[in-house]
Amino acid sequence: MVSERGLEVLRVIVHDYVASREPVGSKSIVERHHFGVSAATIRNDMALLEEEELITAPHTSSGRVPTDKGYRLFVNQLADLRPLSSAQRQAIETFLGDSTDLDEVLARTVRLLSQLTNQVALVQYPTFSRARVRHIELVRLGDTRIMAVLITDSGQVEQRLVETAAPVEDGFLAELRATVNTAVGGETLSVAAAGLADLPSRFRPDLAEVVTVIVTSLVEQLAAGRQEKLVMAGAANLVRTEDDFSGNLFPVLEAIEEQVALLRLFGEMQLDAVDVAASIGRENASFGLSQTSVVASGYTSSGSEIARLGVLGPMRMDYSTNMASVRAVARYLSSLLAER
């Protein structure tokens, strides 16, 4: 059982180690912090923390560093989510508020979050499984070139160029547009994709091939709205903290590049009472990320499920600041997307 003073000792060890990257000893704790007890007493507290596997000695020096179990206790009981400064909140509003569409919003989000935390920032694209088709536009750009535009009720816009084998007349394109919107307007993306399947059979055989090419593109656009993917920024921050990883960074970089493991991890993280989650060290072993910590929160967009955003870095990270930053950005992102 860790005493109240022992918890405070763990707190300062985490803070001092995160700040300095140097193992923390009893003498420095007494000199830097006001415990009102001797270094010998602090050493006894540290010995008890070590018995509980909350701190460990990285080598033969008297200093100690937190273990992943120690970081977990810190996050659960000791981390203080300091509110962002007014300047930081203003920066979030200004930087994200200038975005013009979803892709730019998310790209700006990861850049901003990486700058706020000095970690790798990750944002999961919303999966618009509940989004509905607001309108499908077909624009003739040339004799055999069509722009297919999908617009959902959540504000998502997907557009693609379609090349047809035969020329497409304006009258036929208007008829096809009306037929498509009648068939799938107001439907969810998955239902809409199924609803387009028999569309070519509604047109004359000589037009069916052109309709098939356009419908195929639309089905792909509908599927793209349901796929899970990540946008990220700040991978260079991992290189700056390479000393915090034993071995090499290749497994971490590989997991980031492949995205599958991170999407699974995001899916399993349960947000706490303040809408933040942290997965630390060995808790990430099954995802190939046992030397990392991930801090995440959730955001929503109209018509979408909850999606995750967060940061990834070494276990030696400033959890309080990162958790506050992730939560603040997630809340602002939800608010921004709800207005669109």
End-to-end alpha carbon distance in the chain: 51
The number of beta carbons lying within 10 Å of the beta carbon of residue 226 is 14
* Residue 96, pLDDT above cutoff 80: yes
So what CATH class is 4-78? mainly alpha
Spatial distance between the Cα atoms of 207 and 212, rounded to a whole number of angstroms: 9
Q: Which of 180, 188, 268 is nearest to 226 (CA)?
A: 188
Q: Is the pLDDT of residue 8 over 80?
A: yes
Percent of the chain with pLDDT over 90: 49
The torsion region of residue 131 among left (phi > 0), alpha (psi -120 to 50) and beta comes to: beta
Residue-wise DSSP of 16-85: HHHHH-S-B-HHHHHHHS---S-HHHHHHHHHHHHHTTSEE-SSSSS-BEE-HHHHHHIIIII---PPPP
Tokens representing 230? 């990540």
Question: Given this model, what pLDDT does residue 227 score?
Answer: 63
Q: pLDDT by residue (tens digit) across 251-261?
A: 888 888 888 88
In this predicted model, what pLDDT tens digit does every residue of 54-63 receive, in sequence order?
999 987 667 9
- Give residue 202's pLDDT: 86
pLDDT tens, residue by residue, 27-58: 999 999 988 899 999 999 999 999 999 999 98
> Does the pLDDT of residue 302 top 80, yes or no?
no
pLDDT at position 129, please?
61
pLDDT above 60: residue 303: no
Helices (H), the chain: 4-20, 26-32, 39-51, 68-73, 86-97, 102-117, 170-184, 189-195, 205-224, 236-240, 250-258, 260-268, 319-338
User: Looking at per-residue confidence, does 339 or 150 come out higher?
Assistant: 150
Which pLDDT belongs to residue 222?
Answer: 83
Give the phi and the psi of residue 209 in degrees, each rounded to 5. Answer: -65, -45
| % of the chain exceeding 70 in pLDDT | 95
Same fold for the pair 4-78 and 86-127+228-338: no
Domain boundaries, the chain: 4-78, 86-127+228-338, 133-224
Q: For 223-249, write each residue's pLDDT tens digit.
A: 776 667 889 999 999 888 888 887 678
CATH topology of domain 86-127+228-338: Beta-Lactamase (3.30.450)
- What integer pLDDT is reported at residue 59 of this predicted model? 78
Q: Mean pLDDT throughout 179-195?
A: 88
Question: Which residues partner with 66 through β-bridges?
Answer: 55
Amino acid at 35: F
The pLDDT of 283-306, averaged and rounded, is 86
Q: Which range scores top for mean pLDDT: 120-129, 167-176, 308-317?
A: 308-317
SS3 at position 281: helix
- Reduce the DSSP state of residue 148 to 3 states and report it: strand
**What pLDDT score does 58 carry?**
86
Q: Supply the DSSP symbol for 330.
A: H
Confidence class for position 305, pLDDT limits 50, 70, 90? low
Mean pLDDT within 292-307: 83
The CATH number assigned to the domain with range 133-224 reads 3.30.390.60
Gap between the Cα atoms of 336 and 144, Å rounded: 38
pLDDT of 304: 61
Report helix, strand or coil for 2.
Answer: coil
Mean residue pLDDT across the chain: 88
